[in-house]
Structure 1
Amino acid sequence: MTTLKQKILLLITVLGVALFYLFQQEQLLFLSSTPQSTGIAEQIPTDRPVVVSTVPAGINRDENITISPTQTIEVTFNMPLENIGEFKHKIEPTVEYKVGLSNDRKTVQISPKSAWKLGTSYALTILPDSKFNENPGQESTKKKLDHDISIRFKSIEYRGI
């Protein structure tokens, strides 16, 4: 009887250690928000506006990232926008939101006025009419996007209690 108890205790201990190890590995994957380096330096163009980062990370790809109902979406460009009025965009389905601009005018913040509707997928489209300008007031330095930028995200679903 004692050996059976010892075997069960040993099995539980081994399973516990294995689960702890797996949990730690998975936590490290989720905590890592920076992409792994491929050894190839990525060049960010300086002659045209491009998205350099987003919060949450990954929404500028073809992924459908899940966000909290009150989360602010941030899109950072490699050059400053002319002003907030020159950020041409649309969100579908229609929802009330507010748009902010960072002090350096490179990051746009989009926040829901109340909350993103639970379980709803949204598409933010940044239109080519958006104007970027390193030196506001100088027409010669204005630049535009060369294509639409599509950003998809989804608010969490309510599954009840």
Structure 2
Amino acid sequence: MDTRIVDHPAFRLVGHAARVPLIHRGINPYIQQHIAALPAEEHLRLKALGNAEPSGLLAVSDDLDADYGEGSELTYLHGVAVSPSTPIPGGLDIIEVPAGTWVVIRTAGPHPQTLQNAWAMAAAEWFPFNPWRLRRGPEIVAVPDPANDFSTATCDLWLPIEPA
């Protein structure tokens, strides 16, 4: 697994949020509908607002069920990362993210299968052999290199961690 540990200062995630069910395999149609309902100019407005790492448009999962049960609800936010001092325009949802440590897992391949497999591999192969555990906080996917049709992508999966 291509991983790195990042200590990151506090930041905010801003964008458009919705409560959706967790789906472990394949494209989540509820997330797809949520993103498709946003006007094209809104994606450009969000991209222009982002000024912190992880960069670009982000797929954020927050308020996840501790057991990650299939069908359990989570908050999905389509947005960007900004510094704590960035003025936020009205009409956007905000997730405050305190300073903390993250494991960043880089994936590349068929999308979303490769990304979904990375979650499973982290649980089975990375966490048991490293001195870290998940902590509460949003799980973030940055997609720096997608194909035009999103059939393949390079993704950075940011998972909040703390010493085990």
TM class by smaller structure: under 0.3
- Point out the structure with max Rg over C-alpha: 1
In terms of fraction of residues, the more strand-rich structure is: 2
The alignment's TM-score, normalised by the length of structure 1, stands at 0.24
The alignment's TM-score, normalised by the length of structure 2, stands at 0.24
